[in-house]
Structure 1
Amino acid sequence: MDLLEFARGPAMQWSLIILVFGIAWRLFGIIFLKRKKDLAEPRQTGVLGGAVKTIFSRSVPARAFWSRVMYSNIVGYVFHIGLAIVVFAFLPHILWFESILGFQWPALPTSVITLVAVITLASMVALLVKRLTHPVLRRISNFDDYFSWLVTIVPLLTGMMAFTHTGFGMRYETVLAIHILSVEFLFIWLPFGKLGHSFLVFLSRGTTGALFARRGART
């Protein structure tokens, strides 16, 4: 078994198993977390609306803070949207999803994917520079922040290398194997690090919105 076969076989299977069980473990721990009973009389009973509203309202910062966080928010959205396009609209990725889900969807032209990938890489570098140069961000950043950034950017870089056949002396199969392995490492790390916000963000916002709505606070 060579490196590519290992990446496509056992490594892929185990990384997906860890990803699924890791997400389930995090969600189970949060949903069934023991909480103190709220003895206060609810101001309103329809909290679902507050939960849904908060999920969307917290996607845009309050106007009072816009000037301070505009750069991070815009670049952050560029990164997240760009990454989603690369992951879900690139034909080889779609074919991989089809092997698991049993169906596929239209892909974007490779030229568009390439442009989006470059923009996404640039946005990640811009966010890192912001974190390193902003005194507050630098102070509150920890290993998880930087390691999660690294775990995310490596699949993008190796994917670009594989797509453009830029191996710096390595065979294409080796570069492709490294790319797949980097994605699998991302799968393994995602449920346990700060990248977990990719599936926890809606739960946490919804819970906050429901709590605020129960107390009659604005969401």
Structure 2
Amino acid sequence: MSAAELLDFARGPALWFSLGVLIAGSLWRVFAIWRLGARVDLSEPRSRRLAAGALRGIFARMLIRKEFRNSRNLGSFNAYVYHVGLAFIVFGYLPHIRFVERLTGITWPALPGWVMYLAAGPTVVGLLIALLERLGDPVRRLLSGFDDYFSWLVTFLPLLTGMAAVNEATAASGAPLFPLPVAIHLLSVELLFLWLPFGKLGHAFLVFFSRGLTGAALQRKGAAI
């Protein structure tokens, strides 16, 4: 298979298959959680502003709890670095926006190129630090399993291959002159799509459900969120 054929495969069957698994797997995870149900709470609600509680639960828990704000733990700060960096790269880089536009017709303004370069470096370093912290801490190493390391790998690979494909020269038709780096990058992204619904990376979308439900429950009880 030539590099051009590999790119056609990555842009065609592999892409649509991985997207199908991503969507179906994500819906399956949400449905499985919904099927668990919840016990009926017969207590008198202290508040009925459950939507407000859900939103507070989602956003308030993105911040470090005040009890830990004076901690000098690098892990807490580092998590912000690579999560924010990933968000900038995924949603702000022009080729990624065009990729979404080709699939859905939805588009939005891109961030300047220098912002992407500025975000990529700390994100790569942050992910490497996260891995080294996991490997270097005996407790974290004991608690870590295949899911933790494979989830890290499928997150890191698109970054690594994307940096290899950045500023790829294109022909007048728009096709890349060197299709192999682009094909490898696409395949690494599709591997991420295939794994995301089934591993711990599912928190990328499940976090909003879990924190929202927790916030609504605490709001109903009149407890601090």
The aligned residue for residue 206 of structure 1 is: 212
Please give the secondary structure, in 1, of the residue aligned with 2:41. coil
Structure 2: how far apart are the matches of 1:93 and 1:44? 42
The aligned residue for residue 168 of structure 1 is: none
Residues 88-131 of structure 1: CA deviation (Å, up to 9, x unaligned): 22221111111022142222333332232122101111111122
* Correspondence list, 1:36-51, <5 A: 36-51=39-54
Structure 2: which 5+ residue stretches go unaligned? 169-176
Residues 137-195 of structure 1: CA deviation (Å, up to 9, x unaligned): 22222211111000000011011112266xxxxx9322211110010010111111111
> Does the CA contact (< 8 Å) of 1:4 and 1:176 recur in 2?
yes
The aligned residue for residue 21 of structure 1 is: 24
RMSD: 2.0
> Which is worse superposed, 62-71 or 27-36?
62-71
Establish whether residue 122 from structure 1 lines up as the match of residue 125 from structure 2.
yes
The aligned residue for residue 55 of structure 2 is: 52
- Cα distance, 1:19 vs structure 2: 0.8
> Does the CA contact (< 8 Å) of 1:7 and 1:177 recur in 2?
yes
Give me the TM-score of the superposition, normalised by structure 1.
0.89
Closer, same or farther in 2 for the Cα pair 1:216/1:104, shift >3 Å? closer
Structure 1: how far apart are the matches of 2:96 and 2:52? 36
Structure 1: how far apart are the matches of 2:217 and 2:111? 41
Structure 2: how far apart are the matches of 1:25 and 1:69? 39
Identity within the alignment, % = 50
Establish whether residue 109 from structure 1 lines up as the match of residue 134 from structure 2.
no
Establish whether residue 190 from structure 1 lines up as the match of residue 196 from structure 2.
yes
* Correspondence list, 1:146-165, <5 A: 146-163=149-166
The aligned residue for residue 98 of structure 2 is: 95
The aligned residue for residue 177 of structure 1 is: 183
Structure 2: how far apart are the matches of 1:65 and 1:12? 42
- Which amino acid letter does the alignment assign opposite residue 16 of structure 1? L
Structure 2: how far apart are the matches of 1:93 and 1:71? 30
> Does the CA contact (< 8 Å) of 1:162 and 1:172 recur in 2?
no
- Cα distance, 1:25 vs structure 2: 1.1
Give me the TM-score of the superposition, normalised by structure 2.
0.87
Q: Which among 130, 135, 138 is matched to residue 135 of structure 1?
A: 138
Structure 2: how far apart are the matches of 1:40 and 1:64? 30
- Which amino acid letter does the alignment assign opposite residue 101 of structure 1? T
Structure 2: how far apart are the matches of 1:193 and 1:34? 22
Across the two proteins, how many residue pairs are aligned to each other?
A: 214
- Which amino acid letter does the alignment assign opposite residue 126 of structure 1? I
| Structure 1 residue ranges, 4+ long, deviating more than 6 angstroms after superposition | none
Structure 1: which 5+ residue stretches go unaligned? 166-170
Closer, same or farther in 2 for the Cα pair 1:114/1:207, shift >3 Å? same
Please give the secondary structure, in 2, of the residue aligned with 1:32. helix
Please give the secondary structure, in 1, of the residue aligned with 2:100. helix
Q: Which among 64, 68, 83 is matched to residue 80 of structure 1?
A: 83
The aligned residue for residue 37 of structure 2 is: 34
- Which amino acid letter does the alignment assign opposite residue 194 of structure 1? K
> Does the CA contact (< 8 Å) of 1:79 and 1:124 recur in 2?
yes
- Cα distance, 1:71 vs structure 2: 2.0
